[in-house]
Every structure is written in structure tokens, then in C-alpha cells.
């Protein structure tokens, strides 16, 4: 008599196929979750790197602050934008930083040599920012911007003391506070303080 070899029944095969299909679906979900996590992490890294670049430019602008020895102060803040004169390799430059429609904008003039060019470029800069030229957009997702100036050994809002006239000296420091709206993956706020001195 031959030994009896018993095989799998149809029900056993179907149960095994269902179990393997469930394991494959769970594995696919895991791989998909990993891929999505990687995409989100990459987007956050890109935004963080972009923000670091913008803050580095902000600090570079303020460290190169230069007095033009004209009626235009080296650093002015009107509540809507920060205007400053900075030294570049080829002369003075006018730089305007502004928050508009949830984006931080930056405009810079070509190198300037005369007082007339300085005043003309100040007006051009305001016009360019008003037109919202996309090339001037520095960073998106900014809900608020606050500037504080360090005067007389204390921080105060750059507009709060009412002494923003020509006799007011430039502050010894600037504190920048950016609030993020979360649309770009960043939330909360960022505070940077920088000592400034116009040359």
C-alpha cells in the first residue's frame, strides 16, 4: 500500500491567498507612508533652507548699513517696510524689505553714486514692491512682521516713541519677529536680534 499524500484544500489555499494579500496591502501602506513622510520632510527642509537664506540676507543687509550723509536716514521703518542704505562693492545700495499679502519681499537698487539717484531709487523701490513683482518675493507664508529697535538700553517698537524724525539716531540693534501662518510647513514665530551700526 502506498503512503497517502494529502495536499492543500481549496479553502486552505484561499485563506493563504487572503493572508498574503492583506500582508501585501499593509506593506504597500507602509511604503506609501514612508514616501509621503519623505516628501513632507523634504518640503520642510526646503522651506527651512530658504528661510535661512532670507535671514542671512537680512543680516548681511543690516551689517553693511551705511550712512549716505543726506536727509535719507540709513535705516527707516514706516510700519509697512524697512528701508536701508547699505554699502556694496560698487557704491551705495538702497534696500527695501516689506511684508505684503503673506509674503516677505525684498528689493535692492543698483549701485548708486549721487544723492539724486538715491532719492529716485527709493521711489522706484516702493513702486516695484507695490506692483508685486514675483522676482522680489523672498519668502511666503509670513502672517506678521514686527521690528523692535534698541535705543537707550531698551527694546521698543520702532514706531512707538514718535521720534522718527531726522534728529533720531539709528538704533544700536534691530529685533526681527516673523510669525508664520503654517501654509508652508512652518508655524510659530522666529526672533532674530542683530547689532547694527551705520558707518
Choose the weakest-confidence range: 3-7, 9-13, 124-128.
Answer: 3-7
Number of domains observed in the structure of the chain: 1
Answer yes or no: is 27 within a domain: no
Q: Going by C-beta distance under 8 Å and a sequence separation of 6 or more, which residues neighbour residue 58?
A: 97, 176, 192
Mean pLDDT, rounded, for 64-88: 83
Decide: residue 168, CB within 10 A, 0-12 exposed, 13-18 middle, 19+ buried. middle
Answer yes or no: is 84 within a domain: yes
Answer yes or no: is 4 within a domain: no
Model pLDDT for residues 164-175, shown as the tens digit of each residue: 555 567 888 999
Domain that holds residue 94: 44-195
Answer yes or no: is 59 within a domain: yes
Model pLDDT for residues 59-71, shown as the tens digit of each residue: 999 998 888 777 7
* 178 pLDDT more than 90: yes
Answer yes or no: is 3 within a domain: no
Answer yes or no: is 58 within a domain: yes
Answer yes or no: is 66 within a domain: yes
Are 144 and 99 contacting, i.e. CB atoms less than 8 angstroms apart? yes
- Percent with pLDDT over 90 in the chain: 35
Answer yes or no: is 118 within a domain: yes
Q: What is the pLDDT of residue 162?
A: 52
Amino acid at each position: 500500500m502506498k503512503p497517502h499524500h494529502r495536499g492543500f484544500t481549496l479553502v486552505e489555499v484561499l485563506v493563504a491567498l487572503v493572508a498574503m494579500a492583506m500582508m501585501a496591502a499593509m506593506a504597500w501602506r507602509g511604503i506609501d507612508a514612508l514616501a509621503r513622510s519623505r516628501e513632507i520632510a523634504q518640503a520642510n527642509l526646503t522651506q527651512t533652507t530658504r528661510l535661512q537664506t532670507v535671514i542671512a540676507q537680512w543680516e548681511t543687509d543690516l551689517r553693511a548699513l551705511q550712512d549716505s550723509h543726506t536727509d535719507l536716514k540709513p535705516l527707516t521703518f514706516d510700519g509697512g517696510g524697512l528701508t536701508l542704505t547699505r554699502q556694496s562693492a560698487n557704491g551705495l545700495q538702497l534696500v527695501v524689505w516689506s511684508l505684503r499679502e503673506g509674503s516677505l519681499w525684498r528689493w535692492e537698487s543698483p549701485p548708486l553714486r549721487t544723492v539724486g539717484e538715491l532719492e529716485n531709487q527709493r521711489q522706484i523701490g516702493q513702486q516695484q514692491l507695490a506692483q508685486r513683482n514675483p522676482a522680489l518675493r523672498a519668502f511666503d507664508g509670513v502672517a506678521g512682521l514686527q521690528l523692535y529697535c534698541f535705543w537707550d538700553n531698551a527694546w521698543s517698537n520702532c514706531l512707538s516713541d514718535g521720534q522718527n524724525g531726522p534728529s533720531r539716531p539709528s538704533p544700536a540693534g534691530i529685533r526681527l519677529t516673523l510669525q508664520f501662518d503654517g501654509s508652508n510647513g512652518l508655524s510659530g514665530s522666529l526672533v532674530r536680534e542683530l547689532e547694527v551700526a551705520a558707518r
